[in-house]
A and B are shown apart, each in its own frame.
Chain A
């Protein structure tokens, strides 16, 4: 029920904040934001709707293969601001790395080229802490797409309050923190190894012979992060445009117009052909 005009509001099972279709008043469903569903923190929107629309337009302009109708004005009107549920994990990682490494030096003397290879063995073992590694907690959203929206600036993160949701849509999580844990673990493990590798400098090649990472999750924060979104249907496929509502970073899978692909392909091929033909005519 809309608290303003009394109309029935139809929502998804995961919708936590929406608009009344009749009076357009923002509506929050408190039950979906309390108890275990109460977010501990939130990053408020920093990008206005107008700025988001402009960014969308600029972005489309740089994509020559997108169909024209995708860039149209009515399409842009549909951009909506939404708070999406994320799990932010603080982790402790211990990593062990063994590797073989070589330094190679080449020089000439007389009619010979000499190659000197010096062989080393590297041992690394260390601890490090990762803070706020995010994983999206909404099954509606594509995980990889959400990963691409990163990073958010956690300095602007504040304690959660209902008042931030006013005027935006909001979702509650439907993927539990234990379910996203393997994804987090894999990510942290890779980052730990990369970190240890970065301490091995000055080698021309490195081969890892042994690696091992142990990870402990110290804390998980249920956090709402701001995203501008646009869902677009082209044929029977759905495409998503999403924008980090804090930093303005844009991701999305865009539809591709085959007409445009063909035109660009033909144009480039013709230009390349003409260029080679002319250049070779002069050279030969």
Chain B
């Protein structure tokens, strides 16, 4: 009986060990970058770490990058959500954070959002980030892809005002163009406008049409497929519940 009990414990321990997140309960959540699939060089990993740690501390939002070559039969979404939940990531009572999983086994990238991150990273923004990463992922430039991810996260976590600051050159161009057109219109008003039309001097009674024919020639009909055009999801964030019972947002793409 005692033997059986020990065996069950050992089995459980082995099983738990096989699942990342359970076995590595003492994972250092301060590192932010966990390159299990070994996709980054030492220097790249350091650079990513530094950037992620800076963003996380500046924005009070956990930022995590994970790579793996084996999800132990889980979907990328579940793996990413569980990695976040069971390793104790997330800041504050809402476990605010965002996680990028690069699953090289299934060649799938998944962005998982939690707490406040859920609201900040709407479906369209996640799509936007994935768009920017896709090219790098397809060409195995994983460091570049992760770097782009961190940059976009950093950008979206700015307040609206600070984001606005980043676009000042664009606003300047628009302002100058609008002002130029306005002044141009004002200057053109310094000239007179024509107020006679084609019939000002016409004697209406005198018009005699000798020939007035509209002849129908033919009809052509063309058709165009419009089924592919569908609206985008705007500022909505779709959510799902993970095994831990917490609510997550996110989106992914295979590459």
Question: Which residues of A pack against B, CB within 8 Å?
Answer: 62-66, 96, 101, 108, 111-133, 145, 147-151, 190-191, 194-195, 198-200, 249-254, 256, 261, 264-270, 272-273, 276-277, 280-284
Contact = CB atoms under 8 A, between A and B. Distances in A.
Interface string B154-166: 0000001101100
Contact of A128 (B183, B206, B213, B224): B206
Given A112-B225, A116-B219, A261 B187 contact: yes
Given A112-B224, A115-B221, A195-B198, A269 B190 contact: no
Contact of B172 (A115, A130, A273): A273
A115 to B, nearest CB: 5
B171 A280 contact: yes
Interface in B215-246: 215-227
A190 B218 CA distance: 30
A147 B194 CA distance: 8
Say whether chain B's binding surface is mostly helix, strand, loop, or mixed.
mixed
Contacts, number: 184
| Chain A, interface SS category | mixed
Contact of A125 (B178, B209, B215, B223): B209
Contacts of B163: 280-281, 284
B43 interface: no
Contacts of A256: 187, 190
B6 interface: no
A128 B167 CA distance: 60
A264 B225 contact: no
B189 A63 contact: yes
Contacts of A149: 192
B180 A273 contact: no
